[in-house]
Amino acid sequence: MTKTAAAYRLPVRVYVEDTDTGGIVFYANYLKYMERARTEYMRSLGFHKPALFDGLQFVVHEVAVKYHSPAVLDDLIDVTAVLIKGSRVSFEMSQQIYRGDELLVEGSVKVACINAQTKRPQGMPKEMITTLKSQIG
């Protein structure tokens, strides 16, 4: 997927704490960057505590990541999030990480809505479903 105006974009600076001894971003940190972009995207839609919402929790159900090229210490990267699917109990986002125009990492993340107490799947509030479905591109 290429960059589009519809994608939510979060700029991130790579710090020494993000890298291995060679100054290359540790592979698991890309998942952290993606999490931050998803969280800020949801916040931009009006959901100010995206991981916990009126007795519900949002948890990663599936993730797929493809690494193309590494980010390195002091890079300024952009992490995107685009909503691509949504249902009553889950949504899926396509995410990319760029350094300028160079695609470094791409992936998809499926997030499920569960009851905070029982940890079982539960439907999202109607206003959330409506908002998310309006964002699917």
pLDDT per 10-residue tile (average), the chain, 137 residues = 66 97 97 96 85 82 98 98 96 97 98 95 93 89
| Amino acid, res. 84 | I
Please report the pLDDT score of residue 47 as a whole number: 87
Fold classification of 8-135 is Thiol Ester Dehydrase; Chain A (3.10.129)
Tell me how many degrees the CA angle 99-81-48 measures, rounded to the nearest 5: 125
Cβ–Cβ < 8 Å for 121, 26: no
Please report the pLDDT score of residue 55 as a whole number: 87
Domain boundaries, the chain: 8-135
* Residue 20 annotated as catalytic: yes
- 68, exposed or middle or buried, with CB in 10 Å at 0-12, 13-18, 19+? exposed
Q: What is the pTM of this model?
A: 0.90
Q: Which residues contact 67 (CB under 8 A, 6 or more apart)?
A: 27, 30, 104, 105
Measure Cα distances from 123 to 14, 67, 83, 137 in Å: 37, 33, 18, 22
